[in-house]
Every structure is written in C-alpha cells, then in structure tokens.
A and B are shown apart, each in its own frame.
Chain A
Amino acid sequence: MTTTIDRSAAPQPSAPRPYHFPHITRATLPNGLRVLVTENRNAPLVSLRALIRSGADHDTAQSAGLASLVADLLDEGAGSRDAIRIAEDVGLLGGALGTGADWDATYISFDVLSRNSEPAMSIFGDVTARATLPEDGLERVRAERLNDILQQRNDPGAIAGKRFASLLYGNGAYGNSVGGNAESVARITADDVRTFYRQHYIPNHSSVVVSGDIDAAAAVELVTRALADWQTGPEPPRPTVAPRPIDASRIYVVDRPQAVQSEIRVGHLGVPRSCEDYFPLAVMNAVFGGVFNSRINLNLRERHGYTYGARSQFAFRRQAGPFVIAAPVRNEVTRESVNEMLSELRRIRTGDIEDRELDDVKSYLMGVFPATVQTAADLAGRLVDMELYGLPEDYFDRYRENIAAVSKDEITRVAEKYLDPDRVLVVIVGNASQIREPLGSLGFPVHELDIDGNMLAVS
C-alpha cells in the first residue's frame, strides 16, 4: 500500500508539559509517629498506609515467618471488633484492607471511598495499634500459612527463589522465606506474637501516609485522633544480614521431573538501598535487564526465542539484597540461556555501551515517572518508600536530574564494581535428567539439591 503522507520518520514531540511531584504535608505526633499527606483529587478515593519499620529481617532461623504471621493477624481482631466485624465494616465503607510484611518492614493499607475517610481511619488505627491478636486467630492463620508453604512445593518459581536466598544468606535474615518454613511456623507461640507486636509496633518506629481526595489538615487531624494514644517504646535494634561469600561459580539443580521449563536464577550479593551508587546502578540495570528492551530480554526472548521474559534486578533493601537474573526457559535451551546470561554480564563490564542505548534507558526512567504515580495508592506507595529508606525530602523533585547525570563511564565503573561474572550462584529448578549433562559442559561444578536444599550429589 502506498501512503499519501510522510511516514518515514517518527514525528517530533510538542513542547513538554511540566510535571511536579505533589506537595507533601508533614507532621510528627508527640508520640513520635511521623505523618505524611498528599492531596490528589483525581478520584473519590483515599489511601491510608502504615509503615512499621520491622519486617522479616527480625525473624531468626527458629522463628522464621513470625513478622509476616503477626501482620496476617492484625485484621483477625482489633479494638472492639472481631475478624468478621472488621471485614463487614470495611465492606460497608467501600474499602479494601490489607496487611503484610516483607524483609524490611510491615505494611497496613486501607483504600476507601473518600466520603468514608473518617470511619475508615478509626478502623485503620485499631488494626495498626490496637490489634487483639486472638489465639484462635493465630491457629487459623498458622494453618493457612502451613498450607501455603505446602503449595509452594510445586511452584517452580517459589522453589528457585527460596533456594537462591538460602544459598546466598544461609539461615539468617534474607536467607529464609518471609513466610517461614513448616517447622518454624509450627513452633511460633502466641507469646512470640504478642512480644513482637509490643516491641515493634510502636509509633516512634512507624509512619502513616494519607493520600487522595482529602484535605491535608483534616487528614492530620484524623490520624491524630486515631493514633495519638499509641504508646512509644524503645527503638528495636536492627539485625545484621550475614551473606556467605561465594568463592567460585557453582550450579545448583533442583529436580522437578515433570518440568517443561527450567526456572533459572543467576546472581550474587547486591547492595543496600542506601548505596551511594544507587542511580548509576539503577541505570546500569535498566540497560542490562530491568526493562523490556534491556539486553537480557532482547537476547533471550527477541533474538533467540528461549523465554517469554527475562529480567534482572537489584533488590535494594535496607541491607544488601541480592542481584538476580531470572528467566523460565524451555528445557532444551537451559545451558545456552545460562551461557548467554553470563556473557552479557561480562560484556556490560567492558564499556561496550552505545550512546543510544544509554540515552534510551535514561529518558525512559526520567519520562516514565509521572505514569507511575497516577493514583492515590501510587503516591502513597512512593511516600512509604521515602519513609522506609530515609530518602531526602526533595528526592522525587531531584529524581530526574540524578538519572540525567549518570554517564557511560559510571555505568562501566559500577558494572565492574558490583557485578562479578566469575563468582555467581546459578540455581535451576527443572527436569534434571534433561539438563544435567548439558549444564556440566559449562565448566562449573553442578550440585543437585532436593527442594528443601539438602545436598544430593555433586558432579
């Protein structure tokens, strides 16, 4: 077909419209609770968030799963309401309540029709500071968790993630699962739960964020009414993660005889969120594997058709999280896929980066920001991050210039400094009889583990 207009080149953009992160109103209650509010009138909705600065990093090998179990118990009873009454009242307000923990923190979220902000805040305050932690609730939540853990034994992605974390961090923080294991979850007592709640759910260790269709001063007033009575306590010390050094690359295979794909994880220790090289690392990872058009995905998916999607990630946590490349690939190309990942790791350390490649990811990271904060819930999430990682008050205002400042030399410098292709953990959950032999030819020791991590064989 011929065209009557000039389609030969992409049209030029018009003048950009400025974007400004919304104003943040801050307050600190006398009990030390920090409150952050942003107004956003795009929808008749309000998002409430509580951040408790303790998560599964406080679990020990013995108590793995405790922090997340406490989080699950918060809406089993709070204030004068039992679990069913909480759910009924949340439903009557047109709300959705959620609770959970990750490695760094515990989160409570309540999204609600804005006309009901006031009664919603009252329930939110109860769930956060006046949870009753009933014993029958604990037994119910525990049984649910044990069944979850059981189900994960057939989930290749979950198995790969668990084995990788455990090989990298051992039994301590970041090495178990946030949800714990069958033995530890069975062991947790009502006393453990109450002690954790008393020690960690304290206002001087927490923040509350309100975002959406609500007046900022009114929001602060509502938070004050709901949480001014919350009792302070001593700041809990943060445990230190103890990663195991990797002396040489090794491959670990977990056999899943029925598998038609290999779940691959390749990586090593990363850096904490507070790393001074955060911005160059974020840009480097976007070039390498952080977005659709990154090298890893273009290579494994678009050039070779090995996978539906390949990604890499630095898990930026309070302490050094892992750096991981992840992809599910069909059995026949498992060895080739690992090989391509390792050669991409080597290549990005050589300074072989095109200007266009770098410009593309930088303008992506800078330009995409407004699209990621369209909703009240999105904005609330950004403020929670800001509080959790102690980001400066002008962080989102200066985000673009920080990305823009990253140079090609810095990409190479951080790739050399933080990526080590010669010392990686390779974890593969797949059909061992089909992949064992080809993997052996990569030249690294191949260990076989059962799904609980027990060593079966070395070749």
Chain B
Amino acid sequence: MLNLTEYRLDNGLRVVLNEDHSAPLVAINLWYHVGSKNERPGRTGFAHLFEHMLFSGSQHVGNNEHFRYVQSVGGVLNGTTFFDRTNYFETLPSNYLALGLWLESDRMGFFLPALTQEKLDIQREVVKEERRQRYDNVPYGTAFERLLRLAFNPEYSYHWATIGSMEDLEAASLDDIREFFATWYRPDNCTLTIVGDFAADEARRLVDHYFSEFEPGRLFPGFDLQRKPAGHEVRETFASPVQLPRIYRLYHLPKMGETDWVHADLLTTVLASDKASRLDRALVHEQQIAQDVATYVLPTEATGLLLLQATAREGVAIERLESAIDEEVARISVGGITDDELTRAKNRAEMEYAHQLETFDARADLIGMMATYFNDPSLVQRWLDPYRNATADDLAHVARKYLIPENRVTSLFVPEA
C-alpha cells in the first residue's frame, strides 16, 4: 500500500502527498481539470496552445527560464493536454522541492503579467509545426481526428482532436488566452500531487507558503453537452499517400472506470496484445493478411472509447481484412473466451500497473488522474480490484454489447490511385 495523504487548502487546491524515500528525487505533478473538451467550435486547439504558453514564463520567471531552472539542476519536465485535462510535471533532485513549487505557483498565480503578443505568436508557430509533424506530414497522421469527426456530433467537443485546426490556432488572440487562464487556472480546479523523497511536514509548509494566497475560481462552466449517437455505423473511405490500407474503428463505451470499461480494457488484451491474442494470431500469424493490429481503450472522462486498427498486408483487400476482424470479434461474442485468456489479460494488467507505480513521475500522474476524474486519489490503491474480479463471461458480454456495428464508426485509409 502507498502512504497517501490528501488535503485541501482553503482556496480549494487539492494536495496529495506520497512520501517514498527509495530515490533522492521528488515528482511534482499538477492536473488542471480543463482540456479540449472545454473548448468551443472556432477555438479548437486552444487548451493545448495554452499549455505551451504556460512554459513561456510568468511574472518572476523569464521567458524560457522555466525549462532552464528545472533542467539546470538535473530535473526533467513537460506538460500534456487531452480532452479532459492538462497536466504539468517535473521530477527534481529532492532537495529542490521548493524550486518546483515556486515555479508552479508562479505560473498559477502570476502568468498574466508576463504574457505578450510576441510569445503567443512564437508558440502559435511551434504548435502549428507540431500539428504538421504529427498529423499532416506523416502517413495515417489524421486518422484519429477523422474518427472523432465521425463518432461525435459537431457540438459535442470530443468532435475535434486536442491539437485543433490550423484556422483556429491562427485565430487565437491574447484576450482568448487571458480569459481561458482566468476561467480555468484556479487552485480549486487543480490537483497538486507530490511523490518522493520529502518530509510531509516540510512539503505541507511549502505548499501552504506558495499556493495559499491565490483566489479560488469557485464557479466553473459545467460540461453538459449531449452526445447524439447516430444509431447506425458511420463509415468513410479516405485516399491518402500511404502504401498499405489500414482500417480504423472507434467503438463507444461507458466512461473510464465504469465496470464495462474495465472489462473492455481486459478484452482489448485478449483481442490484440501478443502473438497469442485473437486478432494477432488469426490475422497476422495464421492468415497473414494483416501487418499489424492494435486495440486499446482511451482514458476519457466524459464518455468511453475503444480504438481498433489493423493494417492490411500488401495485396490484401481492406474488405477481406475487415471481415476477418468481424469474424474474430463474433467468435468471442458467441463462444466467449478461455480461462487462460482471462488470466493472461489480468496478469498483463497487473504488470503494466506495477510499471506505472514504479516511477515517482508516473505514479504522481496516476494519482492526479484518480483525483481529477474520480474525485478520489486513494483509488490508486484499489484500481486493479475490478480487473481481478472480472470473469470470462464479463468480457464476452462487453463484446456482445459494445463491439457491434451500430455502436462504431469506421475510417478506411487506402492508398491514392
């Protein structure tokens, strides 16, 4: 069991401490409960652009100095943005805990005075290059974006990917940045997790010192968008510069953490994880019609998603691959899975979870997620319980209930003529 302490400052900042002296390091991790889900059409990509801006300095920290302060003492750092949250984190030699808290509190409380048009213009260009590098200039780069467009109605903000569109990035203004910050970057919209080699009393004192003077936001715009399922499969075929056809599918699931979501997580291991998994074995190993196959559930808060993709071998028609996938899924829906398959899936979940807890930074991030999505950081101690309790029938049930045409969207990437 992890040694966890959770408390809140008067301004609502949630703090979680996990003392662990096995290495002279400290991981500081902040989850702000805001992501691309909270954007609106015409301003997509904004939460992520904002994340970049938060590395460009604050009132007492110069431009590019945030990186410098952390790296020059041997720290590592980054930030990421997804639909539902934005996280910022650094791992430092443990005697620099105060430095990390000083930096994080300065950008939570004193970001706006240092904001300039020039910084925004530079980071806008950097993010546009990120979009080109990861989406527009690589084979299959826009697949996830295309799936989201098919899977969600335009008003529902999972309709667009976190990176946003070039047009919207172009349109982002300083006023947008200010408003976004004032709305969301409040102590009561944040979980601060500290894991590692520190004394709890000292950590509490420092957190109090650096964070307690900030005003809470109290009222945050609620997320009340309604998903409007099509009720039938939505499909597209997309010709692009790729060598091999690839099928992409998204299936709707209950949101992360629901029992069926956990069972779906285990089911993805049974379907595609190693050579003995169903799709790998049938399509890649035996029939040799697929180059690769992958499937996984996404850590999403508002509603759940299961992604499945498979690449056809040269000369194999995508239709043949697709029907082979459907046959394998049907074999599970009808015939269920074996006890051995269930055991393997559970053991893999246990191994992967042990890897996540092994480092201070990944552990802190997991705790931040449990606090943010489930309002319960101690869930990190019990996360595997529903995995352990799952039965073979549970997994077959998930296949029958969710892995059906009416509940999915399909995008076929095919080579240009």
B348 within 8 A of partner (CB): yes
Cross-chain contact B122 with A305 (CB below 8 angstroms): yes
CA A259 to CA B241, docked complex, whole Å:
10
Name the one of B74, B273, B354 contacting A367, with C-beta atoms under 8 angstroms. Answer: B74
Name the one of B99, B242, B285 contacting A140, with C-beta atoms under 8 angstroms. Answer: B285
A208 within 8 A of partner (CB): no
CA A274 to CA B361, docked complex, whole Å:
33
Q: In chain A, what residue has the closest Cβ to B291?
A: A147
Task: Given A17-B95, A258-B241, check contact A371 B137 (CB 8 Å).
Answer: no
Cross-chain contact A367 with B73 (CB below 8 angstroms): yes
**Chain A residues near B69 (CB-CB < 8 A):** 10
Q: In chain A, what residue has the closest Cβ to B350?
A: A94
Give the contact stretch, choosing among B7-15, B17-25, B34-42: B17-25
A93 within 8 A of partner (CB): yes
A126 within 8 A of partner (CB): no
A146 within 8 A of partner (CB): yes
CA A5 to CA B110, docked complex, whole Å:
13
Give the contact stretch, choosing among A84-92, A244-252, A316-324, A436-444: A84-92
Q: In chain B, what residue has the closest Cβ to A90?
A: B274
Task: Given A3-B109, A261-B132, check contact A91 B94 (CB 8 Å).
Answer: no
CA A55 to CA B213, docked complex, whole Å:
59
Cross-chain contact A8 with B60 (CB below 8 angstroms): yes
Cross-chain contact A140 with B288 (CB below 8 angstroms): yes
A383 within 8 A of partner (CB): no
**Chain A residues near B288 (CB-CB < 8 A):** 140, 143
A175 within 8 A of partner (CB): no
A-B contact count (CB 8 A): 228
Cross-chain contact B75 with A306 (CB below 8 angstroms): no
A292 within 8 A of partner (CB): yes
Cross-chain contact A153 with B359 (CB below 8 angstroms): no
B67 within 8 A of partner (CB): yes
| Secondary structure dominating the interface of B | helix
Q: In chain B, what residue has the closest Cβ to A298?
A: B64
For chain B, residues 54 to 76, give those with C-beta under 8 angstroms from any C-beta of chain A: 59-60, 63-64, 67-69, 71-76
For chain A, residues 292 to 314, give those with C-beta under 8 angstroms from any C-beta of chain B: 292-293, 298, 301-309
Name the one of A155, A260, A292 contacting B71, with C-beta atoms under 8 angstroms. Answer: A292
CA A323 to CA B241, docked complex, whole Å:
31
Q: In chain B, what residue has the closest Cβ to A41?
A: B22
Cross-chain contact A10 with B25 (CB below 8 angstroms): no
Cross-chain contact A308 with B126 (CB below 8 angstroms): yes
Name the one of A5, A45, A365 contacting B355, with C-beta atoms under 8 angstroms. Answer: A45
Give the contact stretch, choosing among B146-154, B319-327, B339-347: B339-347
Interface residues as binary, B98-140 with A (CB distance below 8 Å gives 1, 0 otherwise): 1100110110011000000000011111111110111011110
Cross-chain contact A16 with B24 (CB below 8 angstroms): yes
CA A369 to CA B123, docked complex, whole Å:
30
Interface residues as binary, A344-387 with B (CB distance below 8 Å gives 1, 0 otherwise): 00000000000000011101111111110011100000000000
Q: In chain B, what residue has the closest Cβ to A373?
A: B23
Cross-chain contact A42 with B276 (CB below 8 angstroms): no
Interface residues as binary, A1-43 with B (CB distance below 8 Å gives 1, 0 otherwise): 1011101111111111111000000000000000000000111
Name the one of A88, A260, A301 contacting B344, with C-beta atoms under 8 angstroms. Answer: A88
For chain B, residues 240 to 292, give those with C-beta under 8 angstroms from any C-beta of chain A: 241-244, 273-277, 281, 284-285, 288, 291
Cross-chain contact B25 with A83 (CB below 8 angstroms): no
Task: Given A5-B209, A5-B210, A5-B213, check contact A260 B132 (CB 8 Å).
Answer: yes
Task: Given A84-B281, A154-B243, A291-B71, check contact A92 B347 (CB 8 Å).
Answer: yes
CA A360 to CA B69, docked complex, whole Å:
9
Task: Given A87-B276, A375-B355, check contact A94 B68 (CB 8 Å).
Answer: no
**Chain B residues near A146 (CB-CB < 8 A):** 314
Cross-chain contact B275 with A7 (CB below 8 angstroms): no
- The size of the chain A interface, using a CB distance under 8 A, is 86
A111 within 8 A of partner (CB): yes
Cross-chain contact B23 with A10 (CB below 8 angstroms): no
Q: In chain A, what residue has the closest Cβ to B273?
A: A91
Cross-chain contact B213 with A4 (CB below 8 angstroms): yes
Name the one of B243, B281, B340, B357 contacting A151, with C-beta atoms under 8 angstroms. Answer: B243
**Chain B residues near A449 (CB-CB < 8 A):** none
Q: In chain B, what residue has the closest Cβ to A83?
A: B275
Cross-chain contact A84 with B25 (CB below 8 angstroms): no
Cross-chain contact A96 with B110 (CB below 8 angstroms): no
B358 within 8 A of partner (CB): yes
Task: Given A92-B343, A94-B347, A305-B125, check contact A11 B99 (CB 8 Å).
Answer: yes
Q: In chain B, what residue has the closest Cβ to A3?
A: B213
A150 within 8 A of partner (CB): yes
CA A359 to CA B348, docked complex, whole Å:
44
Cross-chain contact A150 with B243 (CB below 8 angstroms): yes
CA A305 to CA B169, docked complex, whole Å:
14
Interface residues as binary, A119-162 with B (CB distance below 8 Å gives 1, 0 otherwise): 00000000000000000000010011011101101111100000
Cross-chain contact A113 with B350 (CB below 8 angstroms): yes
Name the one of B96, B136, B275, B350 contacting A84, with C-beta atoms under 8 angstroms. Answer: B275
CA A93 to CA B347, docked complex, whole Å:
7
Cross-chain contact A17 with B99 (CB below 8 angstroms): no
CA A217 to CA B242, docked complex, whole Å:
52
Q: In chain A, what residue has the closest Cβ to B137?
A: A261
Cross-chain contact A371 with B91 (CB below 8 angstroms): yes
Cross-chain contact B358 with A376 (CB below 8 angstroms): yes
B93 within 8 A of partner (CB): yes
**Chain B residues near A4 (CB-CB < 8 A):** 213
**Chain A residues near B417 (CB-CB < 8 A):** none
A236 within 8 A of partner (CB): no
**Chain B residues near A45 (CB-CB < 8 A):** 351, 354-355, 358
CA A91 to CA B137, docked complex, whole Å:
37
Task: Given A328-B129, A360-B68, check contact A374 B138 (CB 8 Å).
Answer: no
A329 within 8 A of partner (CB): yes
Q: In chain B, what residue has the closest Cβ to A149?
A: B243
CA A113 to CA B343, docked complex, whole Å:
14
A415 within 8 A of partner (CB): no
The 10 closest A-B pairs by CB, nearest first: A367-B74, A305-B125, A94-B347, A91-B344, A17-B24, A87-B276, A87-B275, A11-B98, A43-B358, A360-B72
For the complex with contacts A13-B93, A305-B123, A368-B75, 11 further pairs of A-B residues with Cβ separation under 8 Å are: A7-B110, A88-B344, A95-B351, A111-B351, A144-B284, A146-B314, A151-B242, A305-B122, A370-B23, A371-B75, A374-B25
Residues of A within 8 A of B (CB): 1, 3-5, 7-19, 41-45, 75, 83-84, 86-88, 90-96, 111-113, 140, 143-144, 146-148, 150-151, 153-157, 258-261, 291-293, 298, 301-309, 328-330, 359-361, 363-371, 374-376
Q: List 12 A-B contacts (CB under 8 A).
A: A11-B98, A14-B97, A41-B22, A42-B358, A43-B355, A43-B358, A91-B273, A91-B347, A92-B340, A153-B243, A156-B137, A364-B74
Residues of B within 8 A of A (CB): 22-25, 59-60, 63-64, 67-69, 71-76, 91, 93-99, 102-103, 105-106, 109-110, 121-130, 132-134, 136-139, 197, 209-210, 213, 241-244, 273-277, 281, 284-285, 288, 291, 311, 313-314, 340, 343-344, 347-348, 350-351, 354-355, 357-360
